[in-house]
Amino acid sequence: MNHKNMLNLVDHTALGAVTEWSDIEQLCSEAIQYNTASVCIPPSYVKRVSEKYGNKLAVCTVIGFPLGYSTKETKIFEAVEAVKNGATEIDMVINLGDVKNKDFCLVTEEIKSIKEAVGSNILKVIVETCYLSEEEKIRLCECVTEAGADFIKTSTGFGTSGAQLADIELFKKHTGKNVRIKAAGGIRTKEQFEAFAAAGVHRIGASAAVKLYNHDNL
């Protein structure tokens, strides 16, 4: 895969605790210039970005982020508001308490409710793999598939570790054919980007991609 195609996989991301408007403007400018898959930004900036950049880029935002333990109803409200403000892609964090309580039916129900709320817009489900056993990861693949989400996503980037290639292989084995895979968290080198692309992910969430694959390399 060449450098240009690599950037086409990237959700160009700025989700730091302190993210200023100037950071968002730079992110969007880079996303347009290098044709990244989307920009992934804090919910508070979605409306402003949508109004300024219109249909020049896809706007992704996060809900229940980064810990996932807000109520289902709160997440639904966040998702609906984000879509109303112009987001076309939603990255939601599951409730890990439900996972550890083995209440997988609640996990499925929450994902399904949010997917219904966002309709044809893309829903990515962050499962935060660093906190999961292999059995839990497999069960969550089943939850995401049954609920009709568009993507399963490895990590928030705020956990104890990020994306792992072994988890991508596990997802490929246990998700349904309509579920795509997003790797995120700790992907910062060309070698990592290219390894995840080769593993067959459909998106990579990262803030470093444009710096690595800049205009001079295209």
* Token output for 63: 């809900």
Secondary structure class of 147 (helix, strand, coil):
helix
Q: Strands, DSSP E only, in the chain?
A: 10-13, 38-41, 59-63, 89-93, 122-126, 151-153, 180-184, 203-206
Active-site option among 98, 115, 153, 167: 153
Q: Compute the 3-state secondary structure of the chain and give helix, strand, coil in percent, each to the nearest 5.
A: 50, 15, 35
| Catalytic residue from among 11, 91, 98, 150 | 91
**Residues whose CB falls within 8 Å of the CB of residue 105, separated by 6 or more in sequence, listed in order:** none
Please identify which of the residues 75, 124, 137, 182 carries the catalytic annotation: 182
Residue 102 among the catalytic residues: no
Convert 140-164 to b/e letters by CB count within 10 Å (16 or more is b): bbebbbbbebbbbbbbbbbbeebbb
The SS3 assignment for 10 reads strand
Distance CA 46, CA 25 (A): 12
Q: Is the peptide bond prior to 43 cis by the omega test (within 30 degrees of 0)?
A: no
Assess whether 137 carries a catalytic annotation: no
153 is catalytic: yes
- Structure-block tokens of residue 43: 């919910």
Active site (catalytic) residues? 91, 153, 182
